[in-house]
Amino acid sequence: MKQFNWKLLNKSLVSRARTGVITTPHGKVNTPAFIFCGTKAALKSLNSKEAKESGTQIILSNTYHLMLQPGGEIIAKHGGIHKFMNWNGPMLTDSGGFQIFSLGYGSVAEEIKGRNINNKRNKSLIKITEEGALFKSYIDGSNQLLTPEKSISLQRQIGADLILVFDECTPFHVKKDYTALSMERSHRWSKRSLETFQIEGDYGSCNGSAGKQALYGIIQGGIYQDLRDISISFNLENNFFGLAIGGSLGSSKEQMYEVVGYTASKLKADHPVHLLGIGDTKDIWKLVKYGIDTFDCVSPTRLARHGVALSKKNNGKINIKNASYREDLFPLEDTCSCKTCVNYSRAYLHHLYKANELLGFQLLTLHNVYFMNALMLLIRDAINNDTLEEAEKKWYLT
Find the catalytic residue in 94, 161, 167, 293: 94
The Cα–Cα gap between 304 and 283 comes to 19
Find the catalytic residue in 161, 283, 293, 296: 296
How far CA 289 is from CA of 28, 376, 394, 398, in Å, comes to: 22, 13, 17, 22
Q: Per-residue b/e over 239-257, b at no fewer than 16 CB within 10 Å?
A: ebbbbbbbbbbbeeeeebb
The Cα–Cα gap between 334 and 341 comes to 7
315 burial level (CB within 10 Å; 0-12, 13-18, 19+)? exposed
Q: How many CA atoms lie within 13 A of 7 on its CB side?
A: 12
For strand 242-245 and strand 273-275, is the pairing parallel, antiparallel, or unpaired?
A: parallel
Q: Are 235 and 217 in contact (CB under 8 A)?
A: yes
The Cα–Cα gap between 382 and 312 comes to 17
For strand 5-11 and strand 133-136, is the pairing parallel, antiparallel, or unpaired?
A: unpaired
For strand 294-297 and strand 273-275, is the pairing parallel, antiparallel, or unpaired?
A: parallel
To the query of whether residue 94 is one of the catalytic residues in this protein, the response is yes
121 burial level (CB within 10 Å; 0-12, 13-18, 19+)? exposed
Please calculate the CA angle 240-243-249 and round it to the nearest 5 degrees: 145
To the query of whether residue 280 is one of the catalytic residues in this protein, the response is no
Preceding amide of 32 cis, omega within 30: yes
- Nearest Cα neighbor of 251 from 116, 113, 102, 104 is 113
- Nearest Cα neighbor of 378 from 393, 363, 365 is 393
Which amino acids are annotated catalytic? 94, 296
